[in-house]
Structure 1
Amino acid sequence: MMTTVGIIGFIVVLLLSVMLHEWGHFATARRFGMKATEFFVGFGPRLWSIRRGETEYGVKAIPAGGYVKIVGMTDLEEIDPADEPRAFYRKPARQRAVVLAAGSFMHFVLAFVLFVTIPMVFGHSKATLTVDKVPDCVWTDTTGKQTSLPTTCGPDTVPAPAWQAGLRPGDTIVSLDGKRLKTWQEFTAAVKAAGARQVTIVVRRDGRELTLRPTLIVQKRADGTGKTVQAAVLGVTSEIVVERAGPVEALGEAVDDFQTMFLGTFKALGQIPASIPALFRQTFGDEPRDPNGLVGAVGIAVVSGQVLDEGSDPLPIRIGSFLGLMAGINIFIGIFNLLPLLPLDGGHLAVLVFEESRRRLYRLLGRPDPGRVDLMKLMPAAYLFLVLLIGLSVLLVAADIVNPPKLSL
């Protein structure tokens, strides 16, 4: 059920992002006196529209984006002489730059608002030192499995060291091998690094401290990057609590999260060319899907459903994780759209910067204004980029269907 909700939620947020993107262009164009004749969500045949003033608002059949039509955006359209004073290209360069960048700016605003909202409203999960579950058995090998603890014992399980040593739900971990612990993360890191040997664990139960001596086992597991590592296993889970932040703390977290995601997006974009051969192998060969590799819209929808449906975190935490994923997607779209490639907004910005730089240089040299760039000469490069983008999108759809990504929990 929650998987379906997650997929629908992803589609709704994506369409909302498209509307905000186009509204950014529309609002700034209107603010500077430009004429906008159409504001549509989707492409293709018109399903519904309504005219308000000089603008037609509506929805089209293919929900693959949206657009706002501003008179005079390119030289490739005919303009009514009466609209010439309000044409895009007749406005100052600074105003045109603001209009072009406003779409991506709205993606960044939405992402930042989500990053502020998540810790305040939905909170973060915090693993305490109190034991939640102690199963009878643990897997001998967790690679390829979506959980670290089995629900029943079977041929591919072994007795859990924690259960055998007497750990029980409700116990609070005090120390490991004489070292007092402050966080669950500190405890699990010490366990993983301990190796296959007996350790001494002190727990607090019913107001008194008990000393237990489990013998750890070593288990093969995926490390989240597609590699298999060896780690010692105890066989317990932590009790999870939800902590919510105040406005000031949430704002600080949002700044950190936004900065991390913003910089990470540039790194991800730089890795796209090198990731394509691996994506071919993962789609048409036997290579497992890289959890940190390229993912298309179908794969993101699947992962969105997994975020809400899977895992042991409380529902508010899973909703927060879903919204965090949506924030990251908006940052990626915003940055991608600013790449200096036509027909992206960043391509038009690059042309604008070139035109203004050339105009100022000619003025300094005492030469006449060279005029605007002939976009027709740039169309072959724009078409090549579109072909490559469409090809990559088709490959990603195929990969997401044939070898869908899996959420690593």
Structure 2
Amino acid sequence: MGAYLIGVLLFALGIAITIALHEAGHMLTARAFGMRVRRFFVGFGPKLWSVKKGHTEYGVAAVPFGGYCEIAGMTALDEVTEEEAPHAMRTRPAWQRILVLSGGVIVNFALGLSIIYGVAVASGIPDPDTTPVVGETVCSADQNPDGTLAECVGAGPAAAAGVRPGDRILALDGEPVVDFLDLRDRVQARPGDTVVLSVERDGDVRKVAVELETVIRYTESGETVEAGSVGLQSASTVRKFGPLEAVPATFAYTGELLRATARGVIELPLKIPSVAAAIFGAERDPEGPMSVVGASRVGGELVEARLWPAFFMMLASLNFFLGLFNLVPLPPLDGGHIAVVIYERIRDFFRRLRGLAPGGPANYERLMPLTMTMVFMLMTVGGLVLVADVVNPVRLFGG
């Protein structure tokens, strides 16, 4: 129990540091361009502690689910004093404002990369240079609307054709297979077809004809489509890297994580109903969203099981999720503010073509209904996930 509690506290601390560094990314880039930073806080709500140094108030707030960096004159609605006016963010060139707004996301990506590099050198990460190895043959399952897989029965198409765990997949219909994501994408595009897999087993290469089954998958817009299924799961190919060779391996594996994380961000709305159902006793989806509380509890389980590499990889994944989620082009997220700056530039480009002067800062009052709707939705989803993490948390090892 002691190790579990230590893991919970350590992961919560990791989240707090992640949030602080995200906001520091905004603050440092703002200061680099001469902008005035009024407040730098970790957390929201009532102030627990603060200190003022120079023009900036640093502090910690009571609700540890985020943070903020208040920059003078960030929008046209933000009134600035006579002293602040020369340092207002809205007076700076568009490229500087975009860099400041992207500062937190850049930090998240840099943190994620750094963590993965450390794990690659210290204990190992999946080797991006190996051809895919079969870890398990499974049956073909339809996808539920929330992104989980339905129950299925049977051996699955690959097992029925003679593919076995440990086989190395070299090619599909004569075309080399790069990795399991490549295999999956090519298979999904051919529901009901018969494909020929070139597999290596005990040094021998053989060709296996596999009749793909047809399963239901959901698109980003929530529509159902038919997809091919081969019934294979990847085996772990973890490898420890040297300091130099870990650099390309880190970038390659980060690319895979970013693709998976992007899918998670896109599919997030589909997973909310299952989170709400879990509050009333339904089975919790381990791949679904988690709050700070839920993530910290999982971190505690990983430390208790002495799975430190998985602990740090989860923290890296969290950084990638925060980075990509903040790029969603809707206010009040960073991506929403970046979208406004880009809109201003496009608008002014067409104004110049018409011989008109620049239009000035965008009218944020028109965005207030959308902003308040987004704030309400984020708070609602955050509350649902938090309650689910308390009454029916994700457990990696049961219990």
Confirm or deny a common fold (TM above 0.5): yes
Counterpart Cα distance in 2 of 1:249 and 1:17: 27
1:83-105 CA-to-partner distances (Å, cap 9, x unmatched) read 21211000111100000001111
Instruction: Identify the residue that residue 79 of structure 1 maps to in structure 2.
Output: 80
Q: Do residues 385 (structure 1) and 377 (structure 2) align?
A: no
Instruction: Identify the residue that residue 340 of structure 2 maps to in structure 1.
Output: 351
What secondary structure does 1:406 align onto? Answer: coil
Contact map agreement 1:295 1:396 (CA 8 A) in 2: yes
What secondary structure does 1:247 align onto? Answer: coil
From the superposition, tell whether residues 273 and 243 of structure 1 become closer, same or farther in structure 2 (CA, over 3 Å): closer
Instruction: Identify the residue that residue 99 of structure 2 maps to in structure 1.
Output: 98
- 1:271-290 aligned at under 5 Å gives the runs 271-285=267-281, 287-290=282-285
What TM-score comes out, normalization by structure 1 length?
0.67
Read off the aligned partner of 1:302 and give its amino acid letter. R
From the superposition, tell whether residues 66 and 281 of structure 1 become closer, same or farther in structure 2 (CA, over 3 Å): closer
Instruction: Identify the residue that residue 290 of structure 2 maps to in structure 1.
Output: 295
From the superposition, tell whether residues 124 and 381 of structure 1 become closer, same or farther in structure 2 (CA, over 3 Å): closer
Bigger CA radius of gyration: 1
From the superposition, tell whether residues 351 and 278 of structure 1 become closer, same or farther in structure 2 (CA, over 3 Å): same
Counterpart Cα distance in 1 of 2:124 and 2:271: 34
Counterpart Cα distance in 1 of 2:126 and 2:31: 44
- 1:217-366 aligned at under 5 Å gives the runs 244-285=240-281, 287-310=282-305, 315=306, 318-366=307-355
Read off the aligned partner of 2:291 and give its amino acid letter. G
1:199-249 CA-to-partner distances (Å, cap 9, x unmatched) read xxxxxxxxxxxxxxxxxxxxxxxxxxxxxxxxxxxxxxxxxxx96421123
Q: Do residues 114 (structure 1) and 94 (structure 2) align?
A: no
**RMSD between superposed Cα atoms in Å:** 2.8
What secondary structure does 1:370 align onto? Answer: coil
Read off the aligned partner of 1:331 and give its amino acid letter. F
What secondary structure does 2:39 align onto? Answer: strand
Offset at residue 124 of structure 1 (A): 5.8
From the superposition, tell whether residues 290 and 37 of structure 1 become closer, same or farther in structure 2 (CA, over 3 Å): closer
Instruction: Identify the residue that residue 53 of structure 1 maps to in structure 2.
Output: 54
Q: Do residues 369 (structure 1) and 362 (structure 2) align?
A: no
Offset at residue 125 of structure 1 (A): 10
Counterpart Cα distance in 1 of 2:298 and 2:98: 36
From the superposition, tell whether residues 360 and 407 of structure 1 become closer, same or farther in structure 2 (CA, over 3 Å): same
Contact map agreement 1:37 1:56 (CA 8 A) in 2: yes
Identity within the alignment, %? 36
Contact map agreement 1:338 1:344 (CA 8 A) in 2: yes
Q: What 5-or-longer segments of structure 2 have no aligned partner?
A: 128-163, 168-237
Runs of 4+ in 1 over 6 A off after TM superposition: none
Read off the aligned partner of 1:383 and give its amino acid letter. M
Contact map agreement 2:298 2:396 (CA 8 A) in 1: yes
Contact map agreement 1:122 1:319 (CA 8 A) in 2: no
Offset at residue 301 of structure 1 (A): 1.5
From the superposition, tell whether residues 364 and 31 of structure 1 become closer, same or farther in structure 2 (CA, over 3 Å): same
From the superposition, tell whether residues 63 and 276 of structure 1 become closer, same or farther in structure 2 (CA, over 3 Å): closer
Q: Which moved more, 1:89-98 or 1:358-367?
A: 358-367
1:334-375 CA-to-partner distances (Å, cap 9, x unmatched) read 110111111111110001100111011110121232222110
Counterpart Cα distance in 2 of 1:38 and 1:291: 37
Contact map agreement 1:33 1:86 (CA 8 A) in 2: yes
Instruction: Identify the residue that residue 186 of structure 1 maps to in structure 2.
Output: 166
Counterpart Cα distance in 1 of 2:386 and 2:57: 33
Instruction: Identify the residue that residue 167 of structure 1 maps to in structure 2.
Output: none
What secondary structure does 2:83 align onto? Answer: helix
Contact map agreement 1:42 1:65 (CA 8 A) in 2: yes
Counterpart Cα distance in 2 of 1:295 and 1:38: 28
What secondary structure does 2:244 align onto? Answer: helix
Offset at residue 41 of structure 1 (A): 2.0
Instruction: Identify the residue that residue 42 of structure 1 maps to in structure 2.
Output: 43
Q: Do residues 400 (structure 1) and 389 (structure 2) align?
A: yes
Offset at residue 121 of structure 1 (A): 2.2
Counterpart Cα distance in 1 of 2:386 and 2:61: 22
What secondary structure does 1:62 align onto? Answer: strand
Contact map agreement 1:47 1:60 (CA 8 A) in 2: yes
Counterpart Cα distance in 1 of 2:115 and 2:327: 21
Counterpart Cα distance in 1 of 2:22 and 2:291: 20
Instruction: Identify the residue that residue 196 of structure 1 maps to in structure 2.
Output: none
From the superposition, tell whether residues 297 and 60 of structure 1 become closer, same or farther in structure 2 (CA, over 3 Å): closer
Offset at residue 401 of structure 1 (A): 2.1
Contact map agreement 1:291 1:408 (CA 8 A) in 2: no
From the superposition, tell whether residues 363 and 408 of structure 1 become closer, same or farther in structure 2 (CA, over 3 Å): farther
Contact map agreement 2:50 2:60 (CA 8 A) in 1: yes
Q: What 5-or-longer segments of structure 1 have no aligned partner?
A: 127-180, 188-241
Q: Which moved more, 1:386-395 or 1:76-85?
A: 76-85
Contact map agreement 1:100 1:348 (CA 8 A) in 2: yes
Read off the aligned partner of 2:265 and give its amino acid letter. L
What TM-score comes out, normalization by structure 2 length?
0.69
Q: Which moved more, 1:296-305 or 1:4-13?
A: 296-305
Between Structure 1 and Structure 2, how many residues are aligned? 296
Counterpart Cα distance in 1 of 2:166 and 2:239: 19
What secondary structure does 2:275 align onto? Answer: helix
Contact map agreement 1:93 1:352 (CA 8 A) in 2: yes
Counterpart Cα distance in 1 of 2:315 and 2:350: 43
